Amino acid sequence: MSNVFDELSERGLVAQTTDEAALRDALDGRLTVYCGFDPTAPSLHFGNLVQLIVLRHLQRAGHRVIGLVGGSTGLIGDPRPSSERALKTKEQTAEDVERIAVQVRRILGADESNPPIFVNNLDWTEPISALDFLRDYGKHFRVNQMIKKDAVAARLQSDQGISYTEFSYQILQALDFLELYRRHGCTMQTGGADQWGNLVAGVDLIGRVEGEPAHVLTTPLLTDSAGEKFGKSAGNAVWLDPSMTSPYAFYQYWLNVEDASVVMLLKVFTDRTMAEIAELERQVAEEPFKRAAQRTLARDVTTLVHGAEATVAVEQASAVLFGKEDPRSLDADTLRDACAELPRVRVEAGSELVDAMVETGLAESRKAARRTIGEGGVSLNNAKVESPEARLTPEDFLHGRLALLKRGRKSLAAVELAS
């Protein structure tokens, strides 16, 4: 690619720009670009990962990138179209800032040849007095323009309205862009398309105060073939923190992506070349049952977020649950995560296996359970159960906690040893 903008466009990572021609020209040189991440939760999520991917592309193209964690903007909260955010305590926000900073550093900090810069906007916002904020920054904003922002306009039309606290958020975000321009020569900001109003507010502020141009690039909202937003698994957000979405659940989310969307997601979230993706697209069309594209996507994104070791562990877990691999190869945490969504029953050592089958829903009755075992259709820890009289012994519980029970190849349950 002659220009990183072309690569971002080909990968479907460009929704809007302030001035495409000017941005293309600027990217022929070396820019400093930033993206901000607010601690609205203890972890980043699917949508934030898109922005980190954009920064990685720019970083590899030789541009200097800044990862900003919003220690001050997180105390205010970006206005939502629906309702006011509940303000978190300063202590809770500070804890979330630290957790998110670790995630940003892990994903952006791997390029030692072009290391990123990490900042917290609380460092320059906290010392500003209310009078200085209004005199030095507020005077550059026009209320008639501010109320046109989508989220603000929606709230003004609602019964709840909008507080001055959340209304001022766009000024704080614009202040960040100006401060990074002054400190680091930053002239470009990236973000999601839904952030357009806040992003261009910073461009306007730099133009008013410094008389210099700046640039914005936004990414599109990613939706599936039915128009639903990506980033939800079983109704919950897909988080980057392993304690909130386990590496196994994270891997399974990507592995289960529909055929109609997997090529698009490969372009967005992986470093695979267009030629490699074209070959995977061919396999989707000709051999969809092999799910080669989904496996590649799941492996690459899990490795990016959780590391190669975690990816190996979750792939082993998949082979155990959906194949014949020995579950004793799994460590305790991976086994727990892999069994988290399975039907489960707690039993005492010595309990009859047929009872566990009934209680987990693998059989309708003890008689049906005994018949299935007699037909060779039941396995315990991937070893065929030979006798309908089998009982669960302490040795059957892996890591002293769980045993994997299967009927056929696809009906699974977990049996937990009662303590």
In the numeric block, which tokens belong to residue 244? 């909130």
Give tens-digit pLDDT for 157-207: 888 899 999 999 999 999 999 999 999 999 999 999 999 999 999 999 999
pTM of the shown model = 0.91
The CB-based long-range contact list for 311-319 (8 Å cut-off, 24+ gap) reads 311/247, 311/251, 313/247, 313/248, 314/247, 314/248, 314/250, 314/251, 314/252, 314/338, 315/251, 317/248, 318/251, 318/252, 318/255
Fold of the CATH domain 4-219 = Rossmann fold (3.40.50)
For 64, the 3-state DSSP assignment is strand
- CATH class entry, domain 232-331: mainly alpha
* Cα 408 to Cα 380: distance, rounded to the nearest angstrom: 11
Give tens-digit pLDDT for 58-88: 999 999 999 999 999 999 988 888 888 888 9
Q: What is the predicted pLDDT for the residue at 160? A: 84
Domain ranges of the chain: 4-219, 232-331, 344-417
pLDDT band for position 1 (cuts 50, 70, 90): very low
What angle is formed at CA 333 by the lines to CA 385 and CA 49, rounded to 5 degrees? Answer: 125
User: 161 with 82: CB under 8 angstroms?
Assistant: no
Under CATH, domain 344-417 is a member of which superfamily?
RNA-binding S4 domain (3.10.290.10)
Q: Residue 314 above 50 pLDDT?
A: yes
Q: At 205, phi and psi to the nearest 5?
A: -65, -45
Quote the mean pLDDT of the chain.
94
Q: List helix spans (H) across 117-187.
A: 122-125, 130-132, 143-146, 150-156, 164-167, 169-184
Alpha-carbon distances of 194 from 190, 197, 217, 220, rounded to whole Å = 11, 8, 12, 8
Q: What is the predicted pLDDT for the residue at 82? A: 83
Alpha-carbon distances of 256 from 76, 104, 114, 236, rounded to whole Å = 36, 26, 35, 15
* Cα 366 to Cα 350: distance, rounded to the nearest angstrom: 16
Q: What is the predicted pLDDT for the residue at 2? A: 61
Q: What is the predicted pLDDT for the residue at 110? A: 73
pLDDT band for position 415 (cuts 50, 70, 90): very high
Q: Residue 111 above 80 pLDDT?
A: no
Q: Residue 280: which region, alpha, beta or left (left: phi > 0; alpha: psi -120 to 50)?
A: alpha
Q: Residue 139 above 70 pLDDT?
A: yes
Give tens-digit pLDDT for 199-253: 999 999 999 999 999 999 999 999 999 999 999 877 789 999 999 999 999 999 9
